[in-house]
Amino acid sequence: MRLFDSKKLAELQQNTSNIRNICILAHVDHGKTTLADCLVASNGIISPKMAGKLRYMDSRKDEQERGITMKSSSIALYYCLEGKEFLVNLIDSPGHVDFSSEVSTAVRLCDGAIVVVDVIEGVCPQTQVALKQAWLENIRPVLVLNKIDRLILEMKLSPLDAYVHLTQVLEQVNAVMGELFATEILGRDVVTVKTKTHEQSQMNRDLSEWSTGLEDADDSQLYFSPDHGNVVFASAVDGWAFSVADFASLFASKLGIDESTLKQHLWGDFYFHTKTKQIISGAQEKAKKPLFVQFVLENLWAVYDTIAVRKDKEKLQKILDSLHIKLTARDMRHTDGKVQLQAVLMQWLPVAKAVLSMVCEKLPSPLEISEEKVEKFMCSQTERFDALPSETQALKSSFLRCSPLNDSPVIIFISKMFPVERKCLPQNRQQPLTAEEIAQRREQARQKHAEMMMQTCSLEEKKSIQNLSEADLSMMSTKKDEEQTSPLHLSDDVFIAFARVFSGTVKKGQEVYVLGPKHDPHQALEMLKNGQDINPNLKLKDLKSGQHITKVVIEDLYVLMGRELDEIDCVPAGNVFGIGGLEEHVLKTATLSTTVACPAFTELTLMAVPIVRVAVEPCQPQDLQALIHGLRLLNQADACVQVIVQETGEHVLVTAGEVHLQRCLDDLKERYAKVDINASEPIVPFRETIVVPPSVDMVNEAILDQHNAPKKAPGHEGDAETEALITIHTSNKQSTIKIRAAPLPSDVTTLLENNTQLLKAMDRHFNSNVENTRDSEEMSSEDAHNATLLTERTLKAINNLREELKKAFANAGKEWEGALEQIWSVGPRRCGPNILLNRVPGYKRSSVWEKFNKDNFIDPRAEYDSSFIYGFQLATLAGPLCEEPLMGVCFVVEDWILTSQQDSSEPVGSQPFGPFSGQIMSSVKEGCRRAFQAQPQRLMAAMYTCSIQANAEVLGKMYAVLARRHGRVLHGDVVEGSASFCVEAALPVVESFSFAPEIRKQTSGLASPQLVFSHWEVIEIDPFWTPSTEEEYLHYGEKADSANRARKYMDAVRKRKGLAVEEKIVEFAEKQRTLHRKK
């Protein structure tokens, strides 16, 4: 039975000083959930016998199956310490790397953390991450050294060895803390030194100043030590835990030593002198047993030895008597020693007592929130707190007061949205019926049944009303209930916001502002001053860019009870709770407040960023809608998921890791989309380009002028030129076009690439006669802003771009002279990084920078101008290598001749090759292609910048993984004050699949990469290259197909698109001789 009901809970919530919001952090499988189980069992929610086996907090099916926690969930617990009643909001968090985003959401809402460490495994990667996260969020940790039973039973250590082992583990943890501390102090130092140098540049800074920062800073509170009372020794699976204080009180009277002195000395290098009854230091030196071994561990070992190993029944009775424990008869009879052991220890040293006392004593209440933390919440590191509006700064005091009074503003932070099945909500849960209701329903059912019987009388005469069992009746009534409760077609899941009140009291029916993560109090306050108000009917999806506020009336408030939710009417400051009915207002995180002056809480510090990309699609094409809907829900439910719709129409799901991905796919299949889906590698785009002819070949030998030599002979001066110049006629021979392709200077390409939005806006502006509002709506959010101000801002930007391009062309050399004004068009899609240059003699067309007006422009060619441009657009959209867009290519039109103008006078039917405009289009396209092919062609690959945090010991393995995937290390540096390295590398996107799992596997999780798209890079190999010179044959052999990376990529794309690939169907003719089809 539960120890307390919701009334009691509401009462406890009022007393802010007795609330503890804590979370459990640890490496995977160190026993977080088991520990949580023990604590939950102390409240009577689950049976103590089941604690550790049930894993109550793991409510998902796959969590239970895999045995790992995948989400953070909260439960409210009651604990009474020395007459004071405490409310502990315990959040269990996952330990697996893939779910570290869930840890972030948990940590944000807490004031303290229980860090669990497996004493066998010691400090693991995720332990470090957890400690770091706690440190970054300014929450105070306490330590639980778990699985001590394994030291006894598995490792079979002697008590003394175990003691030494424990001190070592403790030292490891403290070393991590020390490192974090040092890193921060040094980091702070750098900042202060920087500011100082301006003021005191004259001051001679000697070496001593270097170290002052570290020495001045106070780190006494930082470390874990049993005598400080912030360490608990436990075996959650056997249900026991103790702190030094527990044993101190036990032995103080026996030994006749003051309890507090004993507490001070029980842990450490002290021994007990039996004759003098004194505690003397230096146990190790004198080869004496330390106090901890003598009084604590040896006793424990003895209990284990008697009960679990020797199964000595008589001895057991003695122990029971001395500990004043009574076992039930059933436990006494039990043959399994382990069960008896657990029963004994659970009563002797209950986990909940040790852990929760420590939590209540050592961890801060919401009232003790530090100023530093508040400032961290309210403004990110890049901003200064002073820069916030004064109204906002005033809120700091409300944070610090954390008062539940009605006059203080309500501030709530929502750290995540989690899905709950609708039928699990307390409103929809079946209420236990009162006796009258049951009777009434029975009567109704009976009548109904009677009617039915009347109708089917002839058939089912035998069945009489009396025979109807109670079960049938209740079933019928529940069915009816269900019909009543779900009249509307609602989705099965509702989203509950996982939140904490930082100030004020939130009540049902209260109206609050929902402030999005990008909300800026400056703007909002200004808006309010201008008399704009927030439309209460707005929902998240109606919001335009720049708007981040909606209004909502709070409908449902819940106390989170692990798997269950309890309804509640109001929540005072300092509590963790759930809010229902916000799905349409909150995406992932948000701040709720009664004042818009409240700033949005700073973003969660995510330890893992989404990195594993897959393309998802439904197995049945008609399920696409359901899938999209499901993806939306998933996106809302998981902080660490990104869903991107790509240009190709693929839906790409980005997750933190393999396990996370698996969970997301399962969720999609079973919960959100409810359709079968396929996940596959997403399509990687490439670009095609041309380069200046290379001067060295693949083995770095200078290319001899063998084939260039004859061209340079007298009389062949312009040969190279003419070879690149392509002349093409339209099918009806009426027009001749001469085109040459040239690589664009890289500066120009980057400029064009970065300004696509601008070029697009410009094109739209010039192309649409009426500058209508439709355009501005269609444009992307950034652009919408621009379009309305096209006259001022965009024009300015365009002029900027022009200037910069001019500079870039000027730097590029003299062949680009005047190119800026000759730009005919850019492509593909009129905004890309390729240029069409107009060098047609006599065709003076205005450049792309001005509006092209053909009405006052009399040239027969003007009529086909748009076709010409379109041909160029088509050519740049799909290149000859593998039909991927071109990049950084300039097509120079040297000539364009129209011979006659007869088509307009001719009747329509007599155009044998289709409309003339179409012919121009296709011949321009063909011409561009051929001009492109006449140059050395290259493939461009998309590149990620990959920043990797890694320990020194795994650095080598990490480089190996990078090298295998053609990555290039840009730079690597050691992070000041710690032993980890920060390496930056460039990695081709094509090679990035399963990069994250591989690097994690190779480095045992000690290196965590982050990938961000950075740029396009030319792959330096000619996709058509085969060894041709002597040296190349020597180096690569005759076939050389292993080395040509560009060829491999190109063929893969061509194959995917169904284009012809230069590949033999069968490599060796002889080898297929005995192949039978049916074999």
Q: Which stretch binds other proteins (CB under 8 A): 25-33, 74-82, 347-355, 764-772?
A: 764-772
Is 1063 a binder of other proteins (CB under 8 A)?
A: yes
204/622 with CB nearer other proteins: 622
85/883 with CB nearer other proteins: 883
Planar angle of CA 1070, 1073, 1074, nearest 5 degrees: 140
Is 624 a binder of other proteins (CB under 8 A)?
A: yes
813/909 with CB nearer other proteins: 909
798/874 with CB nearer other proteins: 874
Q: Which residues contact 584 (CB under 8 A, 6 or more apart)?
A: 539, 540, 541
Provide Rg for the chain, Cα atoms: 37
Is 1075 a binder of other proteins (CB under 8 A)?
A: yes
Q: Which stretch binds other proteins (CB under 8 A): 169-177, 659-667, 678-686, 996-1004?
A: 678-686
Q: Where are the beta strands (DSSP E) in 755-888?
A: 823-827, 834-838
Other Cβ atoms within 10 Å of 730 Cβ, number: 22
Is 351 a binder of other proteins (CB under 8 A)?
A: no
Q: Which of 474, 866, 933, 1010 binds other proteins (CB under 8 A)?
A: 866
Q: Which of 484, 530, 769, 910 binds other proteins (CB under 8 A)?
A: 769
Pairing of the two strands 270-273 and 278-281: antiparallel
161/650 with CB nearer other proteins: 650
User: Binding pattern to other proteins, positions 919-958, x when CB under 8 A?
Assistant: ----------------------------------------
Q: Which stretch binds other proteins (CB under 8 A): 41-49, 324-332, 763-771, 979-987?
A: 763-771
679-683 contacts, C-beta under 8 A, 24 or more apart: 679/614, 679/615, 679/616, 679/653, 680/614, 680/615, 680/617, 681/614, 681/615, 681/993, 682/613, 682/614, 682/615, 682/646, 682/650, 682/652, 683/615, 683/646, 683/648, 683/650, 683/1056
Q: Which stretch binds other proteins (CB under 8 A): 39-47, 148-156, 802-810, 910-918?
A: 910-918
Q: Which of 635, 838, 923, 937 binds other proteins (CB under 8 A)?
A: 635
CB of 974 to other proteins, least distance (A): 35
Task: Report d(CA 267, CA 282) in Å as an integer.
Answer: 12
Is 1070 a binder of other proteins (CB under 8 A)?
A: yes
Task: Give Cα separations from 137 to 377, 399, 606 (angstroms).
Answer: 9, 16, 11
Environment class of residue 921 by beta-carbon count within 10 Å: exposed (0-12), middle (13-18) or buried (19+)?
buried
473/627 with CB nearer other proteins: 627
| Residue from 565, 675, 657 nearest 70 by CA | 657
306/923 with CB nearer other proteins: 923
Count of residues interacting with other proteins (CB under 8 A): 65
Q: What is the CB-side half-sphere exposure of residue 25 using CA atoms within 13 A?
A: 36
Is 772 a binder of other proteins (CB under 8 A)?
A: yes
Is 518 a binder of other proteins (CB under 8 A)?
A: no
CB of 716 to other proteins, least distance (A): 29
Q: Which of 780, 811, 902, 1004 binds other proteins (CB under 8 A)?
A: 780
Is 1068 a binder of other proteins (CB under 8 A)?
A: yes
Task: Report d(CA 868, CA 28) in Å as an integer.
Answer: 63
Is 220 a binder of other proteins (CB under 8 A)?
A: no
CB of 866 to other proteins, least distance (A): 5
Is 450 a binder of other proteins (CB under 8 A)?
A: no
Cβ atoms of 102 and 129 within 8 Å: the answer is no
Q: Which of 69, 505, 867, 876 binds other proteins (CB under 8 A)?
A: 867
Sign, CA dihedral 1062-1065-1068-1069, equals negative
Environment class of residue 512 by beta-carbon count within 10 Å: exposed (0-12), middle (13-18) or buried (19+)?
buried
Task: Report d(CA 365, CA 110) in Å as an integer.
Answer: 10
Is 646 a binder of other proteins (CB under 8 A)?
A: yes
Is 642 a binder of other proteins (CB under 8 A)?
A: yes
Count the helix, strand and coil residues of the chain and give each as a percent rounded to the nearest 5. 45, 20, 35
Cβ atoms of 886 and 834 within 8 Å: the answer is yes
Q: Which residue has tokens 């039978």?
A: 1076
**Is the link from the previous residue into 828 a cis peptide, with omega within 30 of 0?**
yes
Q: Which stretch binds other proteins (CB under 8 A): 206-214, 326-334, 613-621, 707-715?
A: 613-621
Task: Report d(CA 726, CA 930) in Å as an integer.
Answer: 7
Q: Which of 310, 423, 851, 1057 binds other proteins (CB under 8 A)?
A: 1057
Is 908 a binder of other proteins (CB under 8 A)?
A: yes
Q: Transcribe 953-1015 into DSSP letters.
A: GGHHHHHHHHHHTT-EEEEEEEPTTSSEEEEEEEEEGGGGTTHHHHHHHHTTT--EEEEEEEE
Q: Which two tokens stand for residue 343?
A: 């029963």
Q: Which of 846, 917, 951, 1029 binds other proteins (CB under 8 A)?
A: 917
Is 632 a binder of other proteins (CB under 8 A)?
A: yes
Is 799 a binder of other proteins (CB under 8 A)?
A: no
Is 850 a binder of other proteins (CB under 8 A)?
A: no
CB of 515 to other proteins, least distance (A): 20
Q: Which two tokens stand for residue 476?
A: 């019928």
Is 1017 a binder of other proteins (CB under 8 A)?
A: no
Is 858 a binder of other proteins (CB under 8 A)?
A: no
CB of 176 to other proteins, least distance (A): 36
CB of 875 to other proteins, least distance (A): 13
Task: Report d(CA 606, CA 727) in Å as an integer.
Answer: 58
Is 1065 a binder of other proteins (CB under 8 A)?
A: yes
Task: Report d(CA 734, CA 135) in Å as an integer.
Answer: 76
CB of 622 to other proteins, least distance (A): 6
203/619 with CB nearer other proteins: 619
| Residue from 896, 797, 887 nearest 845 by CA | 896
Pairing of the two strands 73-81 and 84-92: antiparallel
Q: Which residues bind other proteins (CB under 8 A)?
A: 615, 617-622, 624-625, 628, 631-632, 635, 642-650, 678, 680, 683, 767-770, 772, 774, 780, 829, 863, 866-867, 870, 874, 904-905, 907-908, 914-915, 917, 1055-1066, 1068-1070, 1072-1075, 1077
